[in-house]
Chain A
Amino acid sequence: MPERILVVDDEPNMLRLLKTILMDKTGYEVTTTNNPLEVSKILQGDRYHVVISDLKMPLVDGMDLIEIIRKIDQTLPIIIITAYGTIETAEEAVQKGAYDFITKPFRKETILITIRRALEWRRMQEELQALKNQRSAGTEQ
């Protein structure tokens, strides 16, 4: 099953550009939304492998979104996109649980590499969890 990416940004231009890049360069399935209030419902509907979110959005900003996502999925990698002047806030987002951040403007390759790394990290987390579960099951027996 192809990996599924959710992109959240209040600016339609950025959503269109990111979707175009991701769909042209990769086999990922890409869902986009400019309404962060929809994210909860979207994540509960289908399984996603990576979320990419802008940091500064009206209604719900990237920081709040990290908390919302974490309540649904502890290991879902979240990549935060931030403007150059807000690096400190981006670092704070990583401390809160984001996987990584990218500053705008960025090269196309940057987002693709970061997503690839995030997916690998996710796979490793899942394998680790599976091993832990196995060990627990073995211990109980």
Chain B
Amino acid sequence: MFKFLRRFLKEEVDGMSRLREQFGHFRRLLTGNNQALEIMADMEEKLSGEFLFDTGYLETQTQRLLDNVREVVTELDLMIEGGRHPELASAYERLAEEIRAELAALPSIPETPYILPLSALNRELAPAVGSKMANLGEIGNRIGLPVPQGFAITAMAYKRFLEEAQLSGELEAMLSRASIHDLESLEAISLEIQELILRAPLPPDLEEALAQAVQGLPSPWLAVRSSAVGEDSEFSFAGQFATLLNVAAAGLPEHYKRIIASKFTSRAIFYWKYQHFSASELPMAVGVLAMVPARASGVMFSQDPQAPEADRVLITSVWGLGPYAVDGAISPDLYVVSRKEGHPIKERRVTEKPAALVCLPEGGVAAEALPPKQGSSPSLTDLQARTLAESALILENHFGGPQDIEWALGEAGNLVILQSRPLRVSTPRFAAALRERPAEPAIPPLLSFGVRAVGGAAAGRVHLFLHDGEVADIPPGAVVVARQPSARLVLAMDRIAAIITEVGSPTDHMTIVAREFRIPTLVDVGSATRVLRPGQIVTVDADAARVYPGIVTELLGRQPETPEDLRTSPVFQKLGRILKMTNPLNLLEPESPDFLAGNCRTLHDLTRFCHEKAMDAMFNPDVERVLDSSRVSRLVSDLPLNLFILDLGGGLKVSGQAQVREDDIVSRPFRALLRGFHHPNVSWSGQVAQDMKGFISVFANTMYDMNKGERGLGGKSFAIITDSYLNFNSRLGYHFGMVDAYISEERNDNYISFQFKGGAAAVDRRERRARLLKRILDDLGFKAQAKGDLVQGRLVKYSLLETEETLELAGLLIAFCRQLDLALSSDTVLERCLQAFQKEDYSLSFLRPEEAAN
């Protein structure tokens, strides 16, 4: 007898120890899970664009997340004897490796052939061939708009060229000496680098590849263009790299080197150093296209960059080849076309075009004087302008943002797209600011015509810029006045106040760069160099196309704004890519046959899987037996709960009693939760059925769910408690709720983790209930998410009293929501339920008209 008792007691003590040990693993798993969720939410928040962060933040948070998920996986392994999910560890390792690789990834050059045909390109290949060529391939192959035939010489070829010629080290050393604050030395270093590149031989295999590639083109004449990786993305680099037109295919190796060398012109170095790129971040791919001898060419913007909300597509057009439209040598025709169906022409400005750039039969291009009749006639018909506008909108729609497009009309009048890149536009706020302009100044302007290329106002001393070589002479704060736009002005853009040119357009390269530097710019001003005197102080009001003498202070202070879309920056994009591997939740239904460790595709899937399996392990039938035989107490209360309490220390006045009353409970979080259950306005008396459909769905699901209802837990609810801790798992009908909470004087340790899922109604109503819960949790201060019929929320680091108060509301919420399965027939009802909760009408009387009537 004595031996039996001893064995019985020992078994009971051993059982209790195992339970405590099991619970220790469970708690650590929960802690790891909670922290992982918190880190995921924190990283997701940073994606909003409201925060500035750096790669150090990404590294720290990612490592913390990986550590916590590893802890979760490890603790589950320890909870389950024999490691019932061996594929968990390999799922974790696989994801961890992918995430670390993404984190460490430096811009690298993909391993590709030296040559990729345009017919094989799309935007995903931008890291290999640069955005210019990748987008051109996208346009031809996926959108179906006409583009020239051609191929890309890849970034891999560039890398091979530099390695073979042993140039990389030398270039780095020379570039490190170049400073944007010393233009003279910048110029010297630039010339030295370009010479080095032009003299260096191409590797024989690259030369061979070029020779083969040009044979496949329909014309012996080529357009050879830069397509640097990083060009035409967040920063335009407009006009900074070279383009060679109508050059002989036989000379491609030399043309290629000239394009590579253009990466190192002084203005190019200035531009990318100013934007804090390093040379290694801009591997130079090159585009080779069959030359299009254009009848007319130009640029178009799918939106007006100064007024993006306006109904405008801007098209500039010249006779002949496009450079005259983009380098501002002449003022192009301007068409403003409606974005609406039919694309009516809203405005036409036909200019005097004295010349056109044309292809020479022997190669190269030259200016050709135009007969006066042609020079003064429109270079586009209305139909062509409308067709162009339609294409612009197709491109905008496909690329998901306003576009800056270069186009040409072939000799037969056929449209060809030559390039499309993102267009920077001003925010609508700025447009509003334009409508709130100050009153016209009283003083008469010196100039009152021109085209606003970049808005805003600035004042400074006039500096006449008549020769490209004089850029170093431009003093700080100058208003630069030039006959025509010059891309070389980029070298001074960090120190000039405004730009005025006699010819040009809002779409030329200089303007695109001036917009990036936020410099108010007026173009096509006509006689500016004759009217304005060197040294004269003037105020340029680019918005009104006015130039005033002196400083007009009421005009100053309006800056052209561009949306600070931080989300295009590399560090944001890296965060986005990492989050795709961490946050999305794919494993939703534990009862689904797909709820497997091997199907975990993200870290969130892993934590969800482990949490669910930990719950099963914690409350499996073996543990139930232990619970039944050990000192587990059943709660006697008027609540409709079959609730069992395991006190792990300090949770009950007296442990070990078979039954306890609510007065016996000492656990502070548990008492708070129960207070919520007991809220006088909450009704526990069954479901609220608003319509027959809801009732039938519950009935049908009840039959279906009978087995689920009996699964393992037998409809029991459990609470594991200490004086300051609660883990509550409820089965209330077909609802599964979980509250895990810790309350103490140390606010950093306090948290509530809330989870609710399931129900008897059809899927749409359960999902609606999850959405309602999420909104309520958000109001209560939780970070919550809803997926399907599962809602999860976390509240952390509130004070003891605030946490306790919120726990009470959590209890109320569980009781409140279990009534709603049938009732949530529409989003309108959802909104009414939300308002009812916010007004503390927890009885939901509006859903029970018969009760309201009594």
The residues of A with any CB-CB pair to B shorter than 8 Å are 11-18, 20-21, 23-25, 27, 31-32, 34, 38, 41-42, 45-46, 83-85, 104-108, 111
Contacts A12-B278, A108-B52 given; indicate if A41 touches B181 (C-beta within 8 A). Answer: yes
Chain B neighbourhood of A42, CB < 8 A: 181
**Beta-carbon nearest neighbor of B275 in chain A:** A16
Is B564 engaged at the interface, CB distance under 8 Å to the other chain? Answer: yes
B residues 36-70 in Cβ contact with A at 8 Å: 46, 50-57, 60
The residues of B with any CB-CB pair to A shorter than 8 Å are 46, 50-57, 60, 179, 181, 275-278, 476, 494, 518, 557, 559, 561-564, 566, 569-571
Give bound CA distance, A36 to B494, whole Å. Answer: 19
Q: Is the CB of A21 within 8 A of B571?
A: no
**Beta-carbon nearest neighbor of B45 in chain A:** A105
Give the shortest distance, in Å, between A39 (CB) and chain B (any CB): 12
Give the shortest distance, in Å, between A54 (CB) and chain B (any CB): 8
**Beta-carbon nearest neighbor of B563 in chain A:** A24
Q: Is the CB of A105 within 8 A of B52?
A: yes
Q: Is the CB of B564 within 8 A of A14?
A: no
Best-surrounded residue of B54, B55, B275 (most CB of chain A within 10 A): B54
Contacts A17-B566, A105-B46 given; indicate if A12 touches B276 (C-beta within 8 A). Answer: yes
Give bound CA distance, A38 to B277, whole Å. Answer: 17
**Beta-carbon nearest neighbor of B234 in chain A:** A16
Chain A neighbourhood of B557, CB < 8 A: 27
Give the shortest distance, in Å, between A119 (CB) and chain B (any CB): 15
Q: Is the CB of A106 within 8 A of B571?
A: no
Chain B neighbourhood of A45, CB < 8 A: 181
Give bound CA distance, A58 to B441, whole Å. Answer: 52
7 interchain residue pairs of minimum CB distance: A105-B53, A12-B276, A24-B564, A13-B571, A105-B51, A14-B54, A20-B564
Q: Is the CB of A32 within 8 A of B276?
A: yes
Total number of residue pairs linking A and B with CB closer than 8 Å = 73
- Chief secondary structure at chain B's binding surface: loop
| Given A14-B54, A21-B566, 6 further pairs, Cβ under 8 A | A14-B571, A23-B518, A38-B179, A45-B181, A105-B51, A105-B57
**Beta-carbon nearest neighbor of B561 in chain A:** A24
Contacts A12-B276, A25-B564 given; indicate if A104 touches B53 (C-beta within 8 A). Answer: yes
Give bound CA distance, A84 to B52, whole Å. Answer: 13
Chain A neighbourhood of B571, CB < 8 A: 13-14, 17
Give the shortest distance, in Å, between B495 (CB) and chain A (any CB): 9
Give bound CA distance, A42 to B657, whole Å. Answer: 78
Chain A neighbourhood of B275, CB < 8 A: 16
Q: Is the CB of B52 within 8 A of A17?
A: yes
Give bound CA distance, A63 to B566, whole Å. Answer: 29
A-B pairs with beta carbons under 8 Å apart, 30 shown: A11-B56, A12-B277, A12-B278, A13-B55, A17-B52, A17-B569, A20-B564, A20-B566, A20-B569, A23-B518, A25-B564, A32-B276, A41-B181, A42-B181, A45-B181, A83-B56, A83-B57, A104-B52, A104-B54, A104-B57, A105-B46, A105-B51, A105-B52, A105-B53, A106-B51, A106-B52, A107-B50, A108-B51, A108-B52, A111-B52
**Beta-carbon nearest neighbor of B51 in chain A:** A105
Contacts A13-B571, A41-B181, A42-B181 given; indicate if A34 touches B564 (C-beta within 8 A). Answer: no
Q: Is the CB of B52 within 8 A of A14?
A: yes
Give bound CA distance, A38 to B273, whole Å. Answer: 14
Chain A neighbourhood of B51, CB < 8 A: 105-108
Give bound CA distance, A71 to B55, whole Å. Answer: 32
Give the shortest distance, in Å, between B174 (CB) and chain A (any CB): 16
**Beta-carbon nearest neighbor of A85 in chain B:** B60
